[in-house]
Structure 1
Amino acid sequence: MKKQHTILLFPLLTLFLFLEVSNVYAVGALFSRPRFSQQVYQKMWIKSINTDIDITEQIAVTHLDQVFFNELNTSVEAIFIFPLPENATITELVYWVNGQRFIAEIRERQQAVNAYNEKLRQWLDPALLEYLGDNLFRLSIVPINALSEVRTEITYIEPLKYDFGKVDYKFQLNTLGLSSKSLEKVTVQLNASSKYPYKSFKSPSHVSSTALKINKINDNNYTLFYGDENFYPDKDLFVEYETERKDVEYKILTYTPSVQDSIGDDSFYALWITSPDIIDDSKIIPQNIVFTADVSSSMEGKRLQQVKEAMNNFIDLLNPQDSFNIITFGTFVEKFKPDLIEASETNKQLAKSYVQKLYALGLTNIDDALTTSLSQSFNSQTHNSLIFLTDGEPTWGVLNQDSIVNHTKANNVMGVRIFSFGVGEKISKNLLNNVSFENRAYATFITNEDSIALVVNNLFKRISKPVLTDITVDLGGLDSWDFYPKNVTDLFWGSQILYLGKYKGSGTYKIGLNGKISGGEFNFSDNINFPDTIGGHKFVPRLWAREKINDILELIEVYGETPELVGQIINLSLMFQILTPYTAFYSDPTPTKVSDEKQLVNSFNLMQNYPNPFNPSTTIVYQLPAGKNTYSVVLKIYNALGELVRVLVNTEKPAGLYSVVWDGKDMKGFDVPSGIYFYSLEAGNTRVSKKMMLVR
């Protein structure tokens, strides 16, 4: 149950802008107008987009570097709107001023706003990134000088969706209509690695594009490069891959923080539990399932035809041991049969005939529809599901949404899982989210451009074969706590669970998955190593923190914005440096009196090389924190096979900010070929790596 946060600090025009961009769902766009004017905001030229993507197992870290250009002969104020993929979390904001790179810090929202306004009064160049809700972000930038560039970098992490064996990554590349003219340059470089060999790795969106190339480094590592110039990217970039798997599979990534991370000394893990792709029919659990569909007047036309198609798909996917019914509603509720019937071929054909005769008419009586659906003869010996689809808010019967949620929960005495589908824009997301959340399922929202039949059919395919129910995870004696999700109930065919938690100690533990299958007991276990040596995958703690924050936001939805709950979110946001509805990124470009070479910082930082891609040379910048007299620093270059190419630094250095240039040559002074390279910084107990691309 996610709370919808709307920030009221912004003028109506700003809200209009980000809603428009949300519909386009592309890379960030910048809108500007002359300072102190009341003119309408105009889109600014997106000069270039350079993107680095690193995918480890099913976690993507995306670094987006965009350059905009103010073509006006006057200074302007600008609003940068940035929509993120669902479940993505911003972890870093970088803002460039006069050729200098400034990394923003997380602050409490009001503190960041106050600092931003203070800088405006001094006519400096502050940047403030705030969360607007629905995974939209606004970056305010004032001023931008006449005929000058603006450069921003945003990094976000994203757990990728698994569906029937395949994993998808989407980069929102479409800039059609968001830039005042074509882009000078666009590059996307992606590196993907997995513990298990890849069965397939492709880009469905750019199959025949001469601008894109996929390279197989080895069975466990692929790279992708996309590049073009002087054009409008008119579609998003999709990547799809599949790895070889066992029947039930565990994958794990861990991270143990160093003192410099300042997030404590507990270790973190991300554990994926994946169901089999191929299911023996004898293992399929019988189910009672009801399809309840809105056929009010607003469903007339294309929507009703797609709902009919979805219902027919639903009927085709029923197994012989299932029981089902179809219920429709407008002002009143109608039933295909008085109660659940067996899914025989005769009954399925009768159901299809009933579906073909449906027509749209009436108001929207959601409460009565849910009450009638839950009165069917569900029982405790089967898996019980209700598919509920509507395109509107309640307009007849009980109208109070809290009352509808409470009625539904009270009437659901057999523990039916209610999967809600909301179609179009005129729906109550809160109502559908709450109905599903309170009844052990989830809601899905379908835009006007999406196919209702396709989206609903994917859910039918999954729940038509419930593999494991009443799941528990046994961590085999591992000292683990504060894990999410709090409750794991079912694992369906073609689905997956991501389990996040904290732990202490190290060793190999027998991790068990227990549940019910076909009425019997199921047990699966595998030995998994949990290390406690410093290092690992640094994004894992942030994924854990994001889930904990989401859990607290759900408590706020129930108990309100109490100081204790809001304080917990702010503390987690500040500690793990992730953006939340109660915090903001703030970048302060005030010139420092300390020279760059001697500038002291509070944490290690290995910055992205620039330029990137590069030819023939590139600059690498790194920071060593105050706290020690000197550090033993080693900076190395590796190729994509992990072979050492060059040692750039191997010496003792005091705290400060440093830069080094790599000229694209190996240890013998020969030019290295084009490709992906990695640069790795070792300083004390810290090791950090980043990747770069050489294009000759």
Structure 2
Amino acid sequence: MMVNCCGLLTASKEPVPLKSIEVEVEVRDHVATVVSTLNYENKEDKPIEAVFVFPLPGDAAVCHFSAKIGQKEIVAEVKEKQKAREEYDDALSSGQQAFLLEESEQSPDIFSLSVGSLPPGESASISLEYVTELAVQADDGLRFCLPAVLNPRYQPQGSEGSEVAIVKVTSVPASLVPYSLSFSARVSSPRPVSKVESSCSLDPLQYLNTEQTQATVKLAAGHKFDRDVELLIYYKDAHQPTAVVEAGQASAKPGTLMGDPVVMLSLYPEFPQAVMSSVAPCGEFVLLLDRSGSMSGACMESAKDTLLLLLKSLPMGCYFNIYSFGSSHEHIFPKSVEYSQETMEEALKKVGEMTANLGGTEILRPLKDIYSQPCIPNQPRQLFVFTDGEVGNTKEVINLVKRNSGSHRCFSFGIGEGASSALINGLAKEGGGHAQFITGTDRMQPKVMQSLRFALQPAVADISVKWDVPKGVAVTVLSPPITALFQGQRSLIYAQLTVKSHLISRIFRAAEGCVTVKYSLAGHPSKSQLNFSLKPAEDTGLTVHRLAARTLIRSLEMEETRRTRQQNEGVKKKVVEHSVQSGVSSVFTAFIAVNKGTGKAIQGPLVRRNVPTGLRECALFDDNMSYYNSADDCEDIHGFSYGECEEAYDGITVIRPAQPPRDPFLQLVSLQKASGCWERDPALAAALGKTSEEVENTKPSGVNQEVWATILALIWLHGSKMDAKDEWELLAMKAVSWLRAQNAPCVTECVEAGNTLLDFKVKKDALGL
């Protein structure tokens, strides 16, 4: 699997017909429409077939595909996949130009584009359009991601997809991608746009109106394909519940999905504070860490720091275990153990010794091992999965999580550029949890701690959705039933509105509807309600319909994997039918376009050209400076993992950045006891920037050493780390609970003395004391 770095850049050896990619994004509130234009040119003296394998967001609905040759535009149709492939092959064999776009059968976030029979000297522009929802982040930002990096996916031996032809990905280091990318976005919302941020360099945000509800932003020139293009969009009042009703397609038959109005509801339940604070936290926390070779370096160090914070923040009385995986998997304890000072220290010692030395990314086996363990009574299981997502058997993994979703919640974290959005989002969605992505310079800790806060929230039960619409209107819900609700997390619901009588259609536009979500929270009945107008919104195109069709198609595809062969044929037929009617891609269909107007066959044999995809930089070369497609390839070729290469093979050079000194914050956190307190210790004094003598000499007389140390730690956190409060808030709550249980005298005096020592002005009330 070695690739010569220079070959793809040398025109005489391996010409690349893809010249540039232009991407235009239209963001409306929390939905994005993306148009990508791929410009091809054949500079060879032979006709070619160019094949490009590339990533898209896993939940995207591809809804348009066309090709422009000269002044002629050919619009593709959605057809059953096998028929589309046969039509494509027939076109090529008869000398006609053809274009085929299809979704990978292993993972819905990988697409393959084939541009066939491009004659010598000819150019073609391929236009691809998709719509996608934007996920809400921990800080209320909406995340849009244009995947620009596709790392090779590890396909485990013996998995369901291993007998299927795996999509061949031709990869090069991102800095060697031989085509350019231009990117621009237009953002509009009923609420003002506060700011737009990115891990990539952007030109300044340009507002288009005085209300600041419309703005444009562009990627700065010279972007390299070394990272996904991520935009974080911030609106004022982003958490307001909303409803958008979209009119049906005029040419579609009434009563069908595309012919009827469709409503998209965005709900944000607010849980009563009294209920939230009264619930005693408990649970079984199972942490599953990717230790494959591709996690080496900064990813692994960040993950280990995050596990430290997680373990320090767990509540007394819970149970936990840590699994790690690569080609094989390990666990720290044979089964989950009760959280205590002893078990926490043992786990932290093992975590400190972990390296990314377990080979390929085989996540299925450790998941099966976890699910084989019986659940602990009255301790709801919470699974945290940390991975860079470079797996080939995505659907098989997600199906396993779904089959076990009744016994646990799954929280997933995609680490680094090129993490599979289909895997990360799918794990959380089917596991009733929450998904997070950590890219670029993002800190993993605040995102993981938000998910821990979600996990500590009581599980919501008995969820029901009731619709109240005018008589004569029927509601068909297209989204799968809601299985998880969290404080502050958005839930999207799509529904088709069918008007049953001609009379109601006249008053439909002036009518109102109402949806009520009822649920039980820790035994307390609660509800969330939203009233909405049935009048269709203007200028939404068919975005909502396409997202609704995508939701329905994905639900049916998941259903297809759990039924008998005969039942599967019926499900497949439904998927193809919905896909063709809506023009939205599926695993069983493909977009096919044939240029039938050329009239003359192309001369000469057709030469295949694989267009390379960028993958994240991996400083791993052998003696010949040949590049490994991923760190996992090292294991395939030499029989040992990336992390072992320095000792095992002297021809390998592994370049790692120097590790910075330990952060005082993490040093302070590492010294906290499982109960929540700190002990007076020279290491604590050093983390506080003081000597042991200074800490001892300023302690008020008669005060317990642990009480004094714990108050100092809390003052330091509030005084110097308020910008990272999301990371330490839970462990500070443990410390405050411990202090209260001590009924310690002189707390006010200790706070005053601590402020004097540390030169802060933190009030006692701010500490929660």
Contact 1:55/1:192, CA 8 A, preserved across alignment = yes
For 1:298 and 1:179, the matched residues in 2 are separated by 25
What is the CA-CA distance between 1:124 and the residue it aligns to? 2.0
Determine which of 80, 94, 99 is the counterpart of 1:122.
94
Contact 1:485/1:500, CA 8 A, preserved across alignment = yes
1:500 match:
494
2:241 match:
250
1:357 match:
349
Q: Per-residue displacement from partner, 1:12-41 (whole Å, max 9, x unpaired)?
A: x9xx99xx99xxxxxxxxx9999xxxx986
Task: Give the TM-score normalised by the residue count of structure 1.
Answer: 0.64
Aligned: 1:514 with 2:518? yes
Q: Supply the AA of the counterpart residue of 2:237.
A: R
Aligned: 1:155 with 2:129? yes
1:531 match:
535
What is the CA-CA distance between 1:583 and the residue it aligns to? 1.5
What is the CA-CA distance between 1:272 and the residue it aligns to? 0.8
Q: Secondary structure at the match of 1:156?
A: strand
Determine which of 589, 592, 597 is the counterpart of 1:591.
597
Bigger drift between 518-527 and 272-281 goes to: 272-281
The Cα RMSD (Å) is 4.9
Aligned: 1:378 with 2:382? no
2:195 match:
201
Contact 1:212/1:227, CA 8 A, preserved across alignment = no
* Greater relative contact order (Cα < 8 A, sep 6+): 2
Q: Secondary structure at the match of 2:209?
A: strand
Q: Per-residue displacement from partner, 1:120-161 (whole Å, max 9, x unpaired)?
A: 233221112122242222222222232332211111111111
Aligned: 1:574 with 2:580? yes
Contact 1:272/1:498, CA 8 A, preserved across alignment = yes
Determine which of 167, 171, 174 is the counterpart of 2:146.
171
1:464 match:
456
Q: Per-residue displacement from partner, 1:639-664 (whole Å, max 9, x unpaired)?
A: xxxxxxxxxxxxxxxxxxxxxxxxxx
Q: Secondary structure at the match of 1:586?
A: strand
Q: Name the CA shift for 1:96/1:323 in 2 (closer, same or farther; >3 Å).
A: same
Task: Give the TM-score normalised by the residue count of structure 2.
Answer: 0.58
**Identity, % of aligned positions:** 17
Q: Name the CA shift for 1:220/1:323 in 2 (closer, same or farther; >3 Å).
A: farther
1:8 match:
none
Q: Name the CA shift for 1:448/1:63 in 2 (closer, same or farther; >3 Å).
A: closer
2:309 match:
313
What is the CA-CA distance between 1:326 and the residue it aligns to? 3.6
For 1:318 and 1:117, the matched residues in 2 are separated by 58
Aligned: 1:559 with 2:551? no
Q: Supply the AA of the counterpart residue of 1:238.
A: E
Bigger drift between 95-104 and 257-266 goes to: 257-266
1:292 match:
286
2:117 match:
143
Q: Per-residue displacement from partner, 1:223-260 (whole Å, max 9, x unpaired)?
A: 224266687565543322222338x7321222221431
Q: Name the CA shift for 1:579/1:474 in 2 (closer, same or farther; >3 Å).
A: same
Q: Supply the AA of the counterpart residue of 1:551.
A: S
Contact 1:296/1:360, CA 8 A, preserved across alignment = no
For 1:243 and 1:447, the matched residues in 2 are separated by 22
Q: Per-residue displacement from partner, 1:260-299 (whole Å, max 9, x unpaired)?
A: 1455542211111124599678547444222334689979
**How do 1:25-424 residues align onto structure 2 when only pairs under 5 Å count?**
42-46=15-19, 48-133=20-105, 134=107, 135-164=109-138, 165-172=140-147, 177=174, 181=178, 183=180, 187-198=182-193, 200-206=194-200, 209=202, 211-219=203-211, 221-226=213-218, 235-245=227-237, 249-262=240-253, 263=256, 265-275=259-269, 282-283=276-277, 285-293=279-287, 306=302, 308-318=304-314, 323-326=318-321, 335=333, 340=338, 347=340, 350=342, 352-358=344-350, 359=353, 367=368, 369-372=370-373, 374-378=374-378, 385-387=382-384, 409=404, 415-419=407-411
For 1:566 and 1:172, the matched residues in 2 are separated by 28
For 1:428 and 1:168, the matched residues in 2 are separated by 15
Q: Supply the AA of the counterpart residue of 1:473.
A: V
Contact 2:385/2:412, CA 8 A, preserved across alignment = yes
For 1:70 and 1:489, the matched residues in 2 are separated by 51
Q: Per-residue displacement from partner, 1:338-362 (whole Å, max 9, x unpaired)?
A: 7546xxxxx4x55542332225699
Contact 1:59/1:158, CA 8 A, preserved across alignment = yes
Which residues of structure 2 form unaligned runs of 5+? Answer: 150-171, 359-364, 391-395, 500-507, 600-769
For 2:412 and 2:598, the matched residues in 1 are separated by 54
For 2:222 and 2:407, the matched residues in 1 are separated by 57
What is the CA-CA distance between 1:67 and the residue it aligns to? 1.6
For 1:277 and 1:314, the matched residues in 2 are separated by 24
The structure carrying a bigger helix percent of its residues is 2
What is the CA-CA distance between 1:550 and the residue it aligns to? 1.0
Q: Per-residue displacement from partner, 1:456-484 (whole Å, max 9, x unpaired)?
A: 44532432345855432222246454424
Q: Name the CA shift for 1:60/1:532 in 2 (closer, same or farther; >3 Å).
A: closer
For 1:232 and 1:435, the matched residues in 2 are separated by 30
What is the CA-CA distance between 1:577 and the residue it aligns to? 0.6
Q: Name the CA shift for 1:408/1:110 in 2 (closer, same or farther; >3 Å).
A: closer
Contact 2:199/2:440, CA 8 A, preserved across alignment = no
Which residues of structure 1 form unaligned runs of 5+? Answer: 1-12, 22-30, 342-346, 394-400, 594-696
Q: Supply the AA of the counterpart residue of 2:83.
A: Q
The structure carrying a bigger strand percent of its residues is 1
Q: Name the CA shift for 1:462/1:75 in 2 (closer, same or farther; >3 Å).
A: same
